[in-house]
Homo-oligomer: A and B are copies of this chain.
């Protein structure tokens, strides 16, 4: 990286965006040269080329993050859960996209709460709100920005939680709830153990799918919030287990 590219990067980070024409003039070089610089910076993961210029590479969320974010369904489910949160209580939000949507709603509400989580996106979403945020330490997963592992479990074992809110990768109305990561399953079990109440929030399409590891029996869960595409048979089975079922 040459001097000009360094300074270009500094200017980029300082202002949040640069324009090719402007920079060409500033450095007294041809626009083509700036283009080549931006190509270089992009190739090295330092910038993203935009229309007539570039912006800094997004820092916290890597682009290839396969995080299905805020869909209309998730927002409805999360909004329903919002009603069930008591001010001043301690709530654990386990990693997941629906819980992330919930966190974003909470950030807007700005209730006095303590949130415990093992998800970096959730902690970030709650940054600089009135909410006290405790992030559980542990090993960073390579698949998503969250923390798992024995250290995380041990850490969690010393807490008491009023309400655990979690999603799932798969659900079966008779068998229980599944996730695709063993470490995460262990953490979920520990979370449930130290929690007074457990609510699962999940899109109905997860029902009928089993993932790698079961982390909770149906009976371990106090309530489920899901969308109105849930099959009648599943609704009946869940009701038979005496679970509070909320359909949005």
Q: Chain A interface (Cβ within 8 Å of chain B)?
A: 6-7, 9-10, 13-14, 16-17, 44-45, 48-51, 55-56, 58-72, 75, 107-108, 120-121, 123-128, 132-140, 142, 145, 147, 151-152, 155
Is A67 in contact with B138, judged by CB distance below 8 angstroms? Answer: no
Residues of B within 8 A of A58 (CB): 55-56, 58-59, 61
Is B60 in contact with A108, judged by CB distance below 8 angstroms? Answer: no
Residues of B within 8 A of A120 (CB): 60, 120, 123-124, 135
Whether A137 contacts B124 in the complex (CB less than 8 A), given A17-B63, A63-B55, A69-B10, comes out as no
Closest beta carbon of chain B to A114's beta carbon, Å: 9
In the bound complex, what is the Cα–Cα distance between A21 and B66 (angstroms)? 22
* CB closest chain-B residue, reference A120: B120
Residues of B within 8 A of A64 (CB): 16, 128
Residues of B within 8 A of A121 (CB): 59-60
Residues of B within 8 A of A16 (CB): 60, 63-66
Closest beta carbon of chain B to A108's beta carbon, Å: 7
Is B127 in contact with A135, judged by CB distance below 8 angstroms? Answer: no
In the bound complex, what is the Cα–Cα distance between A9 and B121 (angstroms)? 18
Residues of B within 8 A of A48 (CB): 48, 50, 55
Is A155 in contact with B145, judged by CB distance below 8 angstroms? Answer: no
* CB closest chain-B residue, reference A117: B140
Residues of B within 8 A of A55 (CB): 48, 58, 63
Is B133 in contact with A140, judged by CB distance below 8 angstroms? Answer: yes
Closest beta carbon of chain B to A149's beta carbon, Å: 8
Residues of B within 8 A of A107 (CB): 45
In the bound complex, what is the Cα–Cα distance between A95 and B125 (angstroms)? 19
Is B59 in contact with A61, judged by CB distance below 8 angstroms? Answer: yes
